[in-house]
Amino acid sequence: MMKTFGITWQTFAAICLIIFTVSSASAEIVGSYDVVVYGGTSSAITSAVQVARMGKSVVVVSPDKHLGGLSSGGLGATDSGNRTVVGGLSREFYHRLWLYYQDESAWTFQPQPKENGIPGQGGRGIDNDSQTMWVFEPSVAEKVFEGFVSEYKIPVYKSELLDREKGVEKDGATIRSITTLSGKTFQGKTFIDATYEGDLMAAADVSFVTGRESNAEFGETLDGVQVRNAIYHQFEGFVDPYVERGKPESGLLPFVREKISAPDGEADDLIQAYCLRMCLTNDERNMTKIEKPENYNELDYELLLRSIEAGQNIFMTFSPMPNYKTDSNNNKAVSTDYIGANYAYPNASYEEREIIYEAHRNWQQGLLWTLQHNERVPESVRNEYLKWGLAKDEFVDNGNWPKQMYIREARRMRSDFVVSERHLRYLEDTPRPIGMGSYNMDSHNIQRYVGRDDQGRATVRNEGDVQVNPGAPYPIDYGAIIPPKDECENLLVPVCVSCTHIAFGSIRMEPVFMILGQSAATAACLAIDANVVPQDLDYALLRDRLLKDGQVLEYPDAVKSRVPASKLGGIVVDNRDATIKGEWLGSVSVPNFVDVDYIHDDNANKRGKSVLFEFSDVEPGVYDCRVSYTANPNRATNVPVLVKTSLMRIEATINEKEKPTIDGLFVSVGKIRVGDDKKASVEIFAKGTNGHVVVDAAQLMPEK
């Protein structure tokens, strides 16, 4: 039987028939509203609630059957980052969850925990001090969203797919109405696209991009192809890439590419991997066991089995949720992320997206079944995974699988203002903040390719994973959610915002989407009141209302940990301009440091690791040579430093447990004389050190 992405052609034909039948319905004008929100995500609901609170008429046109998007679709372990900058309706959502779980009857399978008894990502899962709940069951999140809608009497039309071919009526740059495939037409003064895909934005002919920009395009360091930074979720040893081991002529294993898509830091059109955030349980009273998929093919899991042989023994997360449930996410080299299976998704038809969804669900079902039953999996692993099944009382209308796929990234609007890594690091100004983000610049792996191990053998490698903290919460500019005025002047886009791939990796968190949804709705209502288009709205008016409604727009301590090289004396070379040998990781965890970040050796694989700072066009003379690092108890006390000029050399050792004494940044390694060639170098080594080696910058300060 023929298959497409793991589903049969009969299923594909049925999907096509449904879409065709729906699309042939006759048109029906439902009504005219101040604001039409397209989407069923958490951002869509907060948008609609804010419109209602501001006294305007609003309708939610949801392509989804269930409200809440990922927040009710399995992502219960909230990627919240710094929770102090989560304000407004976003924070109210997590407060309402806390209120729900204060009732003992909410704990149907588990005794009510005492004193914050469930851990969360980046903090307590139950924070009784702030009265917020950051871990929760999918069905409970949906109840909270439905409660918002009911309380504000917001009309919601579910399972209404936008007619992407001819369903957007525009008069010049103004949207007049949208029509769904069922034939329903919604007229409005302003529209909000709060979908993960940006379908309304694209259908309205607003510019957008997919894939990754090059680092050079916006002066970034973490965009584009990422081989050097792809340290985490990587294969632990040699994994043969060929169907028959050692035989290239047998072909590559599924979704392994012969070569990388582009050089490190260069652009490509690939998308970070998707998955389904499974709600699992080990409570047999509420468990649906994992069945072998109908179209199971062991070759699809050969990479998993070989990775196990190479040493992988963790395969997913089991983040605890109430009532003995989990939010289970990707973890390690081969896991729930279906790497390479989603590239077509952003611009795909509804039929094609459904096929891609089914392929992802089948992949994860087969992954679990393999871990539970395949005899090539160690017995201890099989026994452990046999304890787990799908939560029977979640996603009851979809076989206990989330219907919402984790669309980590799809289209991104390309507007007049583009948020980049530089804005997140405070290297460029954000003049009109409408909310804040704080999570890591986080991209999941994007492709698998044939690399070479240290013995020269062909082996599978993952590419694309980046996990770098921006250093502090950062503001997001109003320009990120408004299209170019000449393209569309009455649309706001709080999810598929105007930003780069790596900036979106931090922005793309559910609390932030709710923050931006509320801000988009506020701007829409204020623009209607002022009789202007959102692009011409007086930002002072918007800022005042956002602050009144509890939004957080600034984080005063954000830039204190960074010292721009331009503000330092002498000649400074930052780690970003150094020659780096071996695998070093970027970090901003410990203040203070020069410019963007510092790097460290991860206290591992130290042989061959070094960082070389080269100075040229230096006026001949005597200089104090200094190096910068961030001190911490886990640092090495014996870090070797070699300084060279044409006239002399210095060999020194620094103790990185001790705080730098010069400007809180640098220590001196000695005086050097630069000759007529005007060159000097400073090299720092990891080999033989007894702790983490941190390298930030080097400085030559002229002697007076």
Would the CA dihedral through 382, 387, 391, 392 be positive or negative?
positive
Q: Quick one: tokens of 48?
A: 């609609």
pLDDT tens, position by position, 23-68: 445 679 999 999 999 999 999 999 999 999 999 999 999 999 999 9
533 and 570 inside one domain: no
622 and 503 inside one domain: no
The 3 state secondary structure assigned to 395-415 is: CCCCCCCCCCCECCCCCEECC
pLDDT attached to residue 281 = 98
pLDDT attached to residue 2 = 38
pLDDT attached to residue 26 = 64
DSSP line for 245-271: TTEEEEEEPTT-BSS-SSSTT--B---
541 and 579 inside one domain: no
Q: Which of 486, 516, 548 is the last residue in one of the domains?
A: 548
Write the CB contacts of 165 (distance below 8 Å, at least 6 apart in sequence): 203
683 and 592 inside one domain: yes
pLDDT tens, position by position, 401-424: 999 999 999 999 999 999 999 999
Range of the domain at 582: 562-702
Mean pLDDT of 214-231: 94
535 and 573 inside one domain: no
Assigned domain for 380 exists: no
Assigned domain for 170 exists: yes
Q: Across the chain, what does the average pLDDT equal?
A: 94
The percentage of residues in the chain with a pLDDT greater than 70, rounded to a whole number, is 96
Q: Which of 514, 548, 582 is the last residue in one of the domains?
A: 548
Is the per-residue pLDDT at 122 higher than 80? Answer: no
Is the per-residue pLDDT at 119 higher than 90? Answer: no
pLDDT attached to residue 8 = 52
Comparing CA positions, the residue from 616, 577, 609, 587 lying closest to residue 684 is: 609
541 and 586 inside one domain: no
99 and 122 inside one domain: yes
Mean pLDDT of 580-603: 88
**Alpha helix segments (H runs only) across 281-347:** 302-310
pLDDT attached to residue 33 = 98
Assigned domain for 465 exists: no
pLDDT attached to residue 12 = 53
39 and 102 inside one domain: yes
Which of residues 562 and 359 earns the better pLDDT score?
359
Q: Which CATH number fits the domain that encloses residue 535? A: 3.50.50.60
Mean pLDDT of 585-601: 87
The owner of tokens 């393999």 is: 370
Place 585 in a pLDDT band, splitting at 50, 70 and 90. Answer: confident
- Of the listed ranges 12-21, 595-604, 687-696, the least confidently predicted one is 12-21
590 and 539 inside one domain: no
pLDDT attached to residue 22 = 46
Dist CA 668 CA 570 (whole Å): 13
Q: Quick one: tokens of 396?
A: 């009851």
Instruction: Give the Å distances, CA to CA, from 29 to 58, 130, 167, 184, 540.
Output: 15, 45, 12, 6, 37
pLDDT tens, position by position, 493-550: 999 999 999 999 999 999 999 999 999 999 999 999 999 999 999 999 999 999 999 9
Is the per-residue pLDDT at 629 higher than 90? Answer: yes
End-to-end Cα, the chain, rounded Å: 82
Place 21 in a pLDDT band, splitting at 50, 70 and 90. Answer: very low
pLDDT tens, position by position, 429-479: 999 999 999 999 999 999 999 999 989 999 999 999 999 888 889 999 999
Assigned domain for 642 exists: yes
